[in-house]
Amino acid sequence: MSGRAVTSSSIAGPSREIAQARVRDRRLWRTWWVQAHLYLGLTAGALLVVFGLTGSILVFFQDIDEWLNPALLTVNVPAPGQDGYRSVGEILTAAKQAAAPGSRITQVYGATTRERVMAVYMEQPSKAWQRIFVDPYRARVTGVRSYGPDEWVPNYLMDAVFALHYQLFAGMTGVTLAAIAAWLLMLSLLTGVIVWWPVNGHWRQAFVIRRPFASFRLLFDLHKTLSLYLCLAIGAVLLSGAYMNWAEPIIWVTQLLSPVTRGPAQSSPSTVGDGAHPISPQRAVELAAARYPEGRLSSLSMPEDATGVYQVGRQGVPGLSAFWSERIVSVDQYSGAIVDVRAPDTRRSAGETFLDWQGPLHSGQAFGMPGRLLVCASGLACPVIYATGFLMWWRKRRGRERRSIASAS
């Protein structure tokens, strides 16, 4: 009997020490993750507020801009039978007459509703540019917005909000900084999930705001629950934002994991022949519509250089996708041949689907009004998440200072 007792105690001793060592290791790792989450939040968290608030506004930027500038951005729809759009050639002719001398057309955006104008982007040799708004029914210019070269803070409210969101009022340097900040914030989100994970098994408490309400615990629970329930939405918006600002690294990784994934649509070149002359934008739109007539004209991108292509976008294509129904057709600027088609039914890989979803996910437009409201709510939650985290850190810091002073006294 005594021999068995000694044997049991000798086994229990090392087992207890192993268990205690595991607990110490777990606490050490948790402390490390808490510190990583803290410093990431303190350094990049303020930008989460900027991105969140401006992003929430930009979800409805067209609606807000129209409400502020109805004469510039909306038109009266003609009577039925007379409500056909004028040709793209007429729209561009009207825009050229209002543009600064020497300007070239870079982009055209179609009207997204029957009451909205079309927008023509014109670039000048100095790199200053203009956005010219044209009534699509009458081919008449409703107004012009002008922007200086390397203008960091535009003079127009919604453009200023966009510049703050996209480049932090810091030009192209700000574009890169915003992408880096998005990656840091995604890392902060990941460390937050690790810190939140209930290792003690108390799952129910991990998902709720606990009662009775105490000031510090309420801050903690608000920070925890808002971050948790909106984690996927905020993460998707941050990732898509990083992609839109700095796409090359994400495309490179995606093509490593999914090799048949195609790169940007503009990478399909036009064939330059001897004595070849470019076709007109109007002709490019007609050729694309002859092959793919469904949907409405949503965009027209001009060739970037002598080997570039026209890109004709059409949205609302019936039966194409229940979420984001858009087709982009690339047209050779000389021969008029269709050299590339990007649409949900032409994707070659899961990686290509992933890349195509980034833009619609960032704005919430992929899921209609529910998606836009979710993105807007995620953005509005960002100041609360940052404020609660900052206040918790501040209160702990003040508490340590008071205890230090009391101990010294």
Q: What is the pLDDT tens value at each position of the chain, 409 positions in all?
A: 445 555 555 555 667 777 777 767 777 888 899 999 999 999 999 999 999 999 999 999 999 999 999 999 999 999 988 889 999 999 999 999 999 999 999 999 999 999 999 999 999 999 999 999 999 999 999 999 999 998 999 999 999 999 999 999 999 999 999 999 999 999 999 999 999 988 777 788 888 888 877 888 899 999 999 999 999 999 999 999 999 999 999 999 999 999 999 988 767 788 887 778 999 999 999 999 999 999 999 999 999 999 999 999 999 999 998 888 999 999 999 999 999 999 999 999 999 999 999 999 999 998 999 999 999 999 999 999 999 999 999 998 898 888 888 888 7
pLDDT given for residue 207 in this prediction: 85
Q: Which two tokens stand for residue 396?
A: 């702990």
Name the one residue in this structure whose structure tokens are 């129209």. 66
pLDDT given for residue 148 in this prediction: 94
Residue 378 and residue 237 in contact, taking contact as beta carbons nearer than 8 Å: yes
DSSP alpha helix (H) spans, 258-367: 281-291, 350-363
* Domain spans in the chain, listed from the N-terminal domain onward: 2-60+168-253+370-408, 263-347
Class of domain 263-347: alpha beta
Q: What three-state secondary structure class fits 299?
A: strand
Bond into 370 cis (ω within 30): no
Residue 129 and residue 122 in contact, taking contact as beta carbons nearer than 8 Å: yes
The pTM assigned to this predicted structure is 0.89
96-122 in b/e form (b: 16+ CB < 10 A) is eebbeeebebebbbbbeeeebbbbbbb
Q: pLDDT for 2-58, tens place per residue? A: 455 555 555 556 677 777 777 677 778 888 999 999 999 999 999 999 999 999 999
Residue 235 and residue 187 in contact, taking contact as beta carbons nearer than 8 Å: no
pLDDT given for residue 206 in this prediction: 82
- Between strands 129-135 and 326-332, the pairing is unpaired
CB atoms within 10 A of CB 35: 12
